[in-house]
Amino acid sequence: MHQAFNGDIMRNIKLVLEYDGTNYNGWQTQPNQPTVQATVENALAKLTKTPIQIIGAGRTDSGVHAEGQVANFHTTVQMPLVAFQKGLNATLPRDIVVCAATEVPTAFHARFSATRRRYRYTILNRGYPSALARTTSYFYPDAIAVDSMNDLSQILIGKQDFSAFQKTGSDRIHPVCEIYEAYWWQNNPYIHFEIEADAFLRGMVRAIVGTLLKCIKRTDAETELRRILDARDRTIAGMSAPAHGLSLISVKYNDSD
């Protein structure tokens, strides 16, 4: 890390971001569309008086939220880290917040250096919707047996081809991921699904949630889920759960990052 704030030393700054994705067309910059990346880059440009491109750990889709998105950027601007955090929070809209700003080694890359990512999907499971949680949870009135969902989710654990849950049109060549954890837990009236893996295909978590909710209604739920996985065909899996129930919880790196 660089201790002195002088000269033209290139610094690598890591940000941890929290955001409500309701008003954004996803993370990644798109022409004529409001995105989280573009909004943060515009705030950085105002703060530093220089254009800066940031790299995100996960390209969250439109409407998806984050509690622990990680991004990094390179700059020769020699302001203290606390000034980056406070300055950005003063400039950004209220639905995006910088939780932390740290200096990391030059080789650190928010996306490619990541070893694990964790997502949480939140379902409002009761007979009537919520006015307050309508943008952060999926209203699903049918009963959900959490223990049965946990048993079914164990089929997902391990390294395997998850093509059945990859969004149509994705350009990813290698559909193999390793899932370390996949479990459901209840906090009435909410039911949460947490999943952690080394990587995720585009739209994968929402497709998994929709497929599990579909399969659990069958008497042969485990057989059906295995059939869907083996087929590697998105068209026979369940519908994707709505984006607004999903949040990127955390991104993990090696201890040195």
Q: Which residues are catalytic?
A: 61
**C-alpha dist (Å) from residue 180 to 186, 196, 244:** 20, 6, 24
- Compute the residue count for the chain: 257
- State how far Cα 134 lies from the chain centre: 19
Inter-helix orientation angle 146-153/221-231, to 10°:
40
- Outline where the chain has alpha helix (H): 36-48, 81-91, 146-153, 204-215, 221-231
In the chain, DSSP finds a helix count (H) and a strand count (E) of 5, 10
CA distance 239 to 235: 9
Residue that has been written with the tokens 């020699």 in this structure:
78
189 cis-preceded (ω within 30 degrees of 0): yes
The string over 226-240, giving b where at least 16 C-beta atoms fall within 10 Å of a residue's C-beta and e elsewhere, is eebbeebebeebbeb
